[in-house]
Amino acid sequence: MAATHFNCPRCRRQLRKSPQAFVMGWAGIKAGPEEAGFPPTVTCPGCGYAISTAAMLAGDLDPKRDWVTPIAVTFGVLSFLYFRLGQGLSDAKSVGAGFVVTFVLLGAADLYDRLRR
């Protein structure tokens, strides 16, 4: 799926893609910006940085989809219930175990993301 927005690589401001740029990203068209009638760079309204249109079209600047946090929190809650009801630990210990599971998952996902780059 293509994103409808992209981030300025310098100031991280979220900018809206033009409908044409969105459709090209959605369809997976790998045309050069000039062929498609785009200027080679887009000026960021926030910081004035010249953003590469090619990188924007390729989806390199799309906001990262955060699917890890909801999963990690779900597992954290499940482990809380497991330790509280299944293992009979106290509330404090169960909450602690839930937090540990959540942060281990978030840390592992972050590490995985770093190693892929």
Residues lying near Zn ion in the complex (CB under 5 A): 8, 10-11, 13, 44, 46-47, 49
Q: Work out how close the CB of 45 gets to Zn ion at its nearest, in angstroms, rounded to a whole number.
A: 8
Q: Work out how close the CB of 20 gets to Zn ion at its nearest, in angstroms, rounded to a whole number.
A: 21
**Which CB sits closer to Zn ion, 23 or 50?**
50
Exposure string (b/e) for 44-82, b if CB count within 10 Å is 16 or more?
Answer: beeeeeebebbebbebebbeeeeebeeebeebbeebbeb
**Which CB sits closer to Zn ion, 29 or 47?**
47
**Sequence letter at residue 18:** S
Nearest to 5 by CA among 52, 15, 13: 15
Q: Work out how close the CB of 14 gets to Zn ion at its nearest, in angstroms, rounded to a whole number.
A: 10
Instruction: Tell me the sheet residues that pair with 15.
Output: 6
Q: Work out how close the CB of 8 gets to Zn ion at its nearest, in angstroms, rounded to a whole number.
A: 3
**Which CB sits closer to Zn ion, 49 or 82?**
49
Cα 113 to chain centroid, rounded: 10
Instruction: Tell me the sheet residues that pair with 14.
Output: 7
**Which CB sits closer to Zn ion, 11 or 100?**
11
